[in-house]
Structure formats: C-alpha cells, structure tokens
Amino acid sequence: MQKIKSLMTRQGLKSPQESMADLSPVENLRIPSKEELRELREQPIDPLAEQEIIDSIEEIYFSNDSFDMVQHELEKLPPELNLKELEEYRDKLKRQQAAVSKKVADLILEKQPSYVKELERVTALQTNLQLAAVICTNARRQLSVAKEGFTEASLGLLANQRRRQLLTVKCVFFFFITSLLLTFKHYSCISELNSKLQDTLEQIEEQLDVALSKTCKHFDVSHYTKVQMAYTLLGKTQTAMDQLHMHFTQAIHNTVFQVVLGYVELCAGNADTKFQKMQYKDLCTHITLDSYIPCLTDLCKALWEVMLSYHRTMQWHEKHDKQESTPIPVGSSNMSDELLVDRSYVKKKLEHGLTRIWQDVQLKVKAYILGTDMSNFKYDDFIVVLDVISRLMQVGEEFCGSKSEVLQESIKRQSINYFKNYHRARLEELRMFLENETWELCPVKSNFNIAQLHEFKFMGQCRSPSVSPSRQTVTSTSPAQEELSLFQQYIQEGNPFEMHIEHKDEETEDVLASNGYESDELEKSVYQDYDSDSDVPEELKQDYVDEQTGDVPVKSVSRETIRSRKKSDYNLSKSNAPILTNTTLNVIRLVGKYMQMMNILKPIAFDVIHCVSQLFDYYLYAVYTFFGRNDMYESSGLGLISSRLRTTLNRIQESLIDMVCFIPFHGPTEDRKEKVPSPHLSQLVVLTNSGTLYGLAQRVVATESLVFLAEQFESLQSHLDTMMPAAKKPFLQQFYSQTVSTASELRKPIYWIVAAKAIDYEQMLLMMAGVKWDIREIMSQHNVYVDVLLKEFEQFNTRLGDVSRHVRIPLPVSNVLWEHCIRLANRTLVEGYANVKKCSNEGRALMQLDFQQFLMKLEKLTDLRPIPDKEFVETYIKAYYLTENDMEQFIKNHREYSMKQLANLVNVCLGSHINKKARQKLLAAIDDIDRPKR
C-alpha cells in the first residue's frame, strides 16, 4: 500500500502509465510497461480467479518495503534442485506478479479522475499563495516607509514633548513637596509624609543595589549607565562603589559555590548528604575524578565572566571620566571639588579592587585544586588541568599584573605529587618493556625525526613556556591577534577557557616504513640504475662480490656506490633509517610528554628534567647489563671501559637501581621507593649462538638505539636549558657531559664480547706453540697458523655480511668490531711469541715474515687504518735484538706488555748473550715495576 500511496502523490498531470514509468528502479514492486498493461486489459481474466491468485501470495510479501524477496526465495530452495519444479514455481510467481500488476493498474485508472481534480486544486492554491506573498511584501514595504517618515519622526517628537511636559509638572510638584516639608515639618501629617518618602527612597536604593549587583556577572553598558546616573542624582557615588566591590566579592563566592555544588549533586545522584550546608572547601573534596576537569573549566569560565565584568566596569569609568573632564563653569567650585573627590575615590577603589578580586579568585581555585588527589589522573587529563590553570594565571597577569603565587604554589604541590607517582609508574613500565624487548629493529623512515611525533609538536610552536597550549593555538593561527590580550580578544563574546582542550592533529604520524622499507617503489629504484647496465655480468648484477674474498656482503646500488663504499661498512643500501626499537620510541615519546609538562609548568622544571635523566640512565644501564657486562674486561688489557663510563655506571647503580629487591626481609624504605629493580634480559634473546655471531644483530640494535637516543637528547639540550632554573643548570650540563656523551662508549665493551668469541684465538696459540723458532736459515714461506688466522677473519667478514642483511651495521660499529678482533689477534700473536722457549735470529725473521703476511692480507679485508696494535707486535719482535742496556730502558718505557712477556724477552733473547747476574738484574727490574691495570 505504501508503494501505491507514493505513486499517487507524484506531481504532474500525467497518465497512469506515465506515472508508473517514473517509479524508481529500486522499488521492489515491478510496474508493467504500457504494452503489458494493454495486454493485461485486453486479456479476459476471471475476477475470482485473479483474487485467488493474489490470495495465494505469501503474507510476508506485504510486510514492509525493506523485505528482500530475492533472498527470501533463495533461502526456500531445497538442497537438491529439480529443473521442472523450478520452472513450475517460476511460472507460479509470474502469474502472481501479473495479477498484482493488473490489480494495481486497475486501481490507478479508477482513481485517476480524483487525482487530476485534486492536483488542479493544489495548483490553484499555490497560485493564490504566491499572490498573497506579493501583497504582504508590498504592505511591509509601505509600513516601513510610514514608520520612518511618520511614526519615528513626527510621533517620536510628540512623545518626547509629552514626556517633557509630564516631567515639568512633576518637577513643580517635587519643589512644592520639598518646600512643604521644610515649612510645615512640625505638623504630624507632614512628618508622616516625610517618613513615607524616606521609606520610598530606601526602597529605591534597595532596588538600585539589586540592579548594581547584576552588573557583576553580565556587564551591560546601558544598564550600568542608568544605575550610575541614579546614584549620582542621589549623591551617593562613593557608596555605590563600596557596594559594588562587596557585590563582586559575593559574586565570586556564590559563583564558585554554585558551580561546584551543581557537579557534586549531579555526581552524588540521590544521596541524602546536605551538600548545600557544607563549606566551599569541604564541598571541593566531593568532586569525582570524571567530573574534575569539566567542573574546573566551568569554574574558570564563571570566574572569567566576573573578572571581565570588573574590567569593563573600569573601562566605563575611564571613558566617562574623559568625557566629563570638560571646563567647569565659573561659580560652581563646590560642585567641581565634590566631583573631583568622587572621581579620585572611585579610581583608587577600582585599582585597589583589582588585587583584592584576583586574590579571592586564587583562593577559591586553590581550594578546588587541593581538594582532590590528582596523583592517579591520566597524563592527558593532568596536562589539561595544567593548561587551564596556566591560562588562568595568564588572565591574572593581564588583570592586575599578578604572578599568581597562590596558584603557582598549589599547582606545584599537586604537580610534584602527581609527577612522582607518574614517573614511578613509567619507570616500572620501562622495566617491563626492556624485559620483554627482543631487540628487533623498529622500521622507521630514513628521514625520521622526533619533531614528527605528536609529543614534540609543541616545540615547533614559537612561544614562551609560560603561555598555555590553548593560548598558543590562538596566536599561531591568528597573527593579527598576536599582540592582543585576552580581555581584548574576548571583550564582547567568547571565553578563553572554551578552548583549553586541544584536539590532536588530524594528520596521523607517518614515521613507520612499510615492511622495513619506505615503499616498494623506493626499493625498486635502489637497484634500477645498476641493474640496467647491460655490460655487467649477471652474477654481478645480483650481488657485489668482493674481489679479494669472494664474499657477498650486501646488495649493491650502483657501480659508483661500489667504488666509493668501504669494505668495513655493512650498511644496508636499501635503507639508512635510524636504528631504534619500540622501547626506544616509547622512551622518546615519554620524554616528549615530560617536556610538555615542564613547558606548561616551569616551577617543577628541575624535578622533571631529573626524571628525564633517569629514563636515559635506566635505558643505558639496561643495555650495559644485557649486552656489555663481563668479568674479562680487566684482564684483556684493552681499556674497554673508560673511567668516566665506569663512574657513570656506578652512579646509576647506586642512585637508581634497587639491588636488594629480591633479598628477603628487606621491606620498602623511603630510599628504595625512588629506585627500580635491575632489568633482566628476555629469554627470547639468545646471545650464545655462534651462528648469529653471538646475537650481534640484537647487540647492534640495542647499542645503536641507545646512541640514537643520546643523539635525540643532544638535540633537546638547548630547549631543556632554557627551561632549567639558573641554579640547577650545572646538573643539566653534568648530565650531558658525563652520561649522555658516554652512550657511544658502550660500543667497546658490548662488541668486544662478539670479537672475543668470533675468532678462535686459543687455536692460534696452540698452532704457534708447535712452530719451531730456533731455525738456522732464513725462511721464504710463512707459517700455517697465519693462513688459519686469516681464514678466520674471512669467515668473520662473511658472517658480518650475513648479519647486515637483517640489521644495518653502521661504519662505527664495524670499525669497533674489526678493531677488537685485530687487537685481540695481535695480542695473541705477542702472547704466542712470548711462549717461545728457544729462538734464533732466523726465527725472529720468520716472526716478522708471518706478521707482515698477516698485515698484507688483513689490509685487503678491512679499510680500518691504521691497523690497531700494529706497533705493539712489531715493537715486541724488534725487542729481541736489543742490548742489555737498551733492554733495561725498554722495560721501563713499555709497560703495556705483561711481566711474562717482558721476562721472555730477557730469558730467550738475552739469555745467551749476558751473564746470569745481568739477567737477574733485568728480571728484578721487571718485578719492581708497579704496572697499572688497564
């Protein structure tokens, strides 16, 4: 039926067939074409049979327009289909459709005359309405002309004249009553009249006082002008000003009480607590966490309206003082003196009231701030609170030049309390992240910068840290309003606290690379130039093969890149993106959040920066604990940990790490509350597998992510320095010079563990022990242990290339690895030479031949120059040729050699050339030397 109604309501004088053709194709009911209608009319169908067909239609087809008949019929199909049954059922549906279509067509044709007649009436009514609209428009125009030319001009003059006459008559009566009171005041009737007039005057003053109080919340110029004029006529200008300040004080109290009461009662529901009888301070303690920010915002909005009214009141008096400062007629000195006194009183009263009103505002907001424990607030919610209070302090500074010490102290107390809890939770969260971190590479774009993160957006906005973010939003988007104060911007409408909640940027962060690369197109373009060279063999198109070693370290970019690249640089050519982990990214975001809080509230800047330093300290300590702690550093003699780094690690352990958390009977003390348990490496990270170079990929990601974090801290130093109090700046400088700058120094101890295990130095010592060094002829062929050692280095080079396919190995990392391996190999050579029991001059020459062969082959594997500890080996070999006197001086000057190595020089080298007494003297000199441990 709804389809039929919608069809009948279509406009236009059309035939039923044309109307049916206008139906939308999405209608469920199929309307027959003209030819089908003609056939249906010509086809004699028994009405009873037709009705039976219609009655046979399922009831659901008449349910509603959203019914899906196709879905309905498909669901009715049996699991096994029969073509004959389907055709019979299809014919049945066609008959039902034809019957319905004919019935609809008959109904339409039957109602067509009524439809056409009603449509004609509608058209006639529309024409009459258009004519009426024209008549009304003309009438309004003529009335407007009459109003301007006659009513406002002529009748307005008459009305003013009538008012003048009435006032003149009233003045006569007033003068008469005044003289009557003065002349016949001794009569009782006159005395009663005087009392009644006094009562009337008091009522007038009461009404004026009520009218004056209304200006404290919503200042209206015309309303205030009338009130002041009335007080001037009464001669009570000073009284009016006293009353006005009392009303402003009362308005502040009533406003904040009603706002807080409304939220408390709303959140309390049907509780029977008599909140209206509570003191405002007690009422503030009943605000729930969910309603805290909305209530604070409404509170500041209401207080802004009061302060704005006071500001506009002062503007009104300044303006009227200027207008009334016209030359005073001669003979009216008494009036002028009285007027000057009134103006001076009003001015001083208003100026004094600024500080008083702002003090009341601060005390009310302070009670609200301290009435709730905000330590469990969400970070974003607490930032909003700081933003609102910062905006309120800006209002106070513009209102009366106040620094808002009361507000600053109260919000500082809450901030320190909040931040200690927040920082403690974040440190525990960081420990959890570190203990679950698998040290996999977080794929970011090559141009990644911390400024792209939401947490650091505020740094791109050039503003004073004392200005709230919402304030900055206004100034950054409206340069024309940059110099305007809040009272100038919102003098007519709006409220500065309506903008305190800033939505995050619509644009999403785009810092992550897809599948480790910035895009598939970029990955393709990396190889495009080189792969297009037709004169390059196919195997070289695929990989760059080191001509010296046959290794295939990394994918190539172009021949120019191949020529310019260093063999020691295992960078992935596909991407030079920063190396960092998800935990690194979380720490950086956390630093941004800390800096936001510091930016909004400078009084806690030092506390925040101290906590920021703890985040870096804990990350550095975790990386060292996981990958760099080893008891063999001291014995290596390589000076892997500098005194500065050792001091930093000891300081972090003493001040931040809770070393007794797992010891029983050690309850939480005040000192331990500030500490965090030492983190533990995830069991998923395996550092003992030689196939992965002892977790080199994880070590690279961990160490280089720390170095990247240190670089980000370096970029933030100037910004942190501007926020740090002058007295605390030495702490920041010390943090950067003694902690941040030591991050790269962790490379030495961490990668030394890989270098110490990657090459079998013990095997080389055993092979050197089997070499005969007391030979009698010069050898032209080096020893086999040199080839074995070089083979170890070649395998090391290959495995570095394999690792670099998963994690980019920066040049400083590969240099440190090669330096460690070479220094360990050279020291192993010296140790092997120091184990020699018998050696001839020809044997010394063979040592030099072996070492030169080692250097020549090694220089083809690495671009590291100069070769580390090259002089360490050469000097030791050459020491075999020293005389007794020279040897004594050599012992004093070369303390880098162990006592065993020096003793071997004396026993093997000089043993056959000096007597026993001289040898004992040299050995005693070796024993007497106090060798510092390195």
CB 500, CB 510: distance < 8 Å: no
Distances (CA, A) of 160 to 153, 166, 462, 704, 712: 11, 10, 59, 89, 77
CB 275, CB 283: distance < 8 Å: yes
pLDDT for the residue numbered 1: 45
- Give backbone dihedrals phi and psi of 333, rounded to 5 degrees, phi first: -65, -40
CB 698, CB 439: distance < 8 Å: yes
Least confident of 457-461, 489-493, 723-727: 457-461
Query: Bigger pLDDT: 616 or 662?
Result: 616
Q: According to the per-residue pLDDT averaged within each range, which of 510-514, 656-660, 724-728, 823-827 is highest? A: 823-827
User: What is the band of 368 on the pLDDT scale with cuts at 50, 70, 90?
Assistant: very high
Phi-psi region of 355 (alpha: psi -120 to 50; beta: other; left: phi over 0): alpha
Beta strand pairing status for 657-658 and 676-677? parallel
pLDDT for the residue numbered 570: 62
Statement: residue 920 has pLDDT above 90: no
Statement: residue 615 has pLDDT above 90: yes
Give all domains of the chain, ordered by start, each with its CATH number: 216-323+338-419 (no CATH), 433-459+577-660+674-744 (no CATH), 759-873 (1.20.58), 882-933 (no CATH)
Q: Reduce the DSSP state of residue 657 to 3 states and report it.
A: strand
Statement: residue 298 has pLDDT above 90: yes
pLDDT for the residue numbered 640: 79
pLDDT for the residue numbered 29: 43
The DSSP letter of residue 512 is: B
The DSSP letter of residue 677 is: E
Summary mean pLDDT of the chain: 79
Instruction: Single out the residue of 206, 299, 312, 209 nearest to residue 253, CA to CA.
Output: 299
User: What is the greatest pairwise CA distance in the chain?
Assistant: 156
Half-sphere exposure of 281 (CA within 13 A, CB side): 4
The mean per-residue pLDDT over the stretch 218-233 comes to: 87
Statement: residue 531 has pLDDT above 50: no
pLDDT for the residue numbered 617: 95
Least confident of 7-16, 56-65, 129-138, 572-581: 7-16
Statement: residue 851 has pLDDT above 50: yes
pLDDT for the residue numbered 588: 94
- Give the DSSP per-residue string, 761-796: HHHHHHHHHTS----SS--SS--HHHHHHHHHHHHH
Nearby residues of 832 by Cβ (< 8 Å), 6 or more positions away: 764, 765, 768, 769
Statement: residue 392 has pLDDT above 70: yes
pLDDT for the residue numbered 341: 80
Statement: residue 897 has pLDDT above 90: no
The mean per-residue pLDDT over the stretch 12-17 comes to: 42
Site of tokens 């903008």: 499
Distances (CA, A) of 707 to 221, 230, 448, 813, 842: 64, 76, 15, 11, 49
| The pair of three-digit structure tokens given for residue 458, joined into one six-digit string | 């505020």
Least confident of 370-374, 606-610, 914-918: 914-918
CA angle centred on 748, ends 747 and 751, rounded to 5°: 75
CA distance 713 to 907: 55
Q: According to the per-residue pLDDT averaged within each range, which of 124-138, 158-172, 312-326 is highest? A: 124-138
Statement: residue 346 has pLDDT above 50: yes
Instruction: Single out the residue of 599, 176, 604, 228 nearest to residue 423, CA to CA.
Output: 604
Site of tokens 């609209």: 133
pLDDT for the residue numbered 830: 92
Q: According to the per-residue pLDDT averaged within each range, which of 179-183, 468-472, 820-824, 841-845 is highest? A: 820-824
Q: pTM, whole model, 2 decimals? A: 0.66
pLDDT for the residue numbered 524: 39
Statement: residue 558 has pLDDT above 80: no
CB 929, CB 902: distance < 8 Å: no
- 517 - beta bridge partners? 514
User: What is the band of 508 on the pLDDT scale with cuts at 50, 70, 90?
Assistant: low
The mean per-residue pLDDT over the stretch 310-339 comes to: 70
pLDDT for the residue numbered 457: 83
pLDDT for the residue numbered 704: 94
Statement: residue 791 has pLDDT above 90: yes
- Give backbone dihedrals phi and psi of 896, rounded to 5 degrees, phi first: -75, -15
CA distance 529 to 532: 5
Nearby residues of 894 by Cβ (< 8 Å), 6 or more positions away: 875, 879, 902
CA angle centred on 832, ends 826 and 836, rounded to 5°: 145
pLDDT for the residue numbered 530: 33
Site of tokens 């010891």: 663
CA angle centred on 439, ends 433 and 440, rounded to 5°: 120
Q: What percent of the chain has pLDDT over 70?
A: 79
Q: According to the per-residue pLDDT averaged within each range, which of 510-524, 562-576, 618-632 is highest? A: 618-632
The mean per-residue pLDDT over the stretch 856-880 comes to: 90
Each residue's pLDDT tens digit, 50-106: 888 888 888 778 777 777 888 888 888 888 888 888 888 888 888 888 888 888 888
Instruction: Single out the residue of 319, 403, 284 nearest to residue 355, CA to CA.
Output: 403
User: What is the band of 517 on the pLDDT scale with cuts at 50, 70, 90?
Assistant: very low
Site of tokens 């003793």: 903
Nearby residues of 780 by Cβ (< 8 Å), 6 or more positions away: 849
The DSSP letter of residue 121 is: H
Statement: residue 638 has pLDDT above 70: no
Each residue's pLDDT tens digit, 731-785: 999 999 999 999 999 999 999 999 999 999 999 899 998 888 888 888 888 899 9
Query: Bigger pLDDT: 827 or 177?
Result: 827
Query: Bigger pLDDT: 46 or 216?
Result: 216
Query: Bigger pLDDT: 303 or 197?
Result: 303
Q: How many other CB atoms sit within 10 Å of the CB of residue 605?
A: 21
User: What is the band of 829 on the pLDDT scale with cuts at 50, 70, 90?
Assistant: very high
Each residue's pLDDT tens digit, 153-195: 777 788 888 888 888 887 787 777 777 677 776 777 777 777 7
Q: 40-48 long-range CB contacts below 8 Å, 24 or more apart?
A: 40/98, 40/101, 40/102, 40/105, 41/102, 41/105, 45/99, 45/102
- 677 - beta bridge partners? 658
Each residue's pLDDT tens digit, 407-436: 989 988 888 888 888 899 999 999 999 999
Phi-psi region of 550 (alpha: psi -120 to 50; beta: other; left: phi over 0): left
Least confident of 25-34, 276-285, 337-346, 485-494: 25-34
pLDDT for the residue numbered 124: 93
- 518 - beta bridge partners? none
Distances (CA, A) of 38 to 35, 116, 139, 732: 5, 22, 55, 96
Label residues 262-280 b or e (16+ Cβ within 10 Å = b): ebbbeeeeeeeeeeeebeb
CA distance 854 to 784: 11
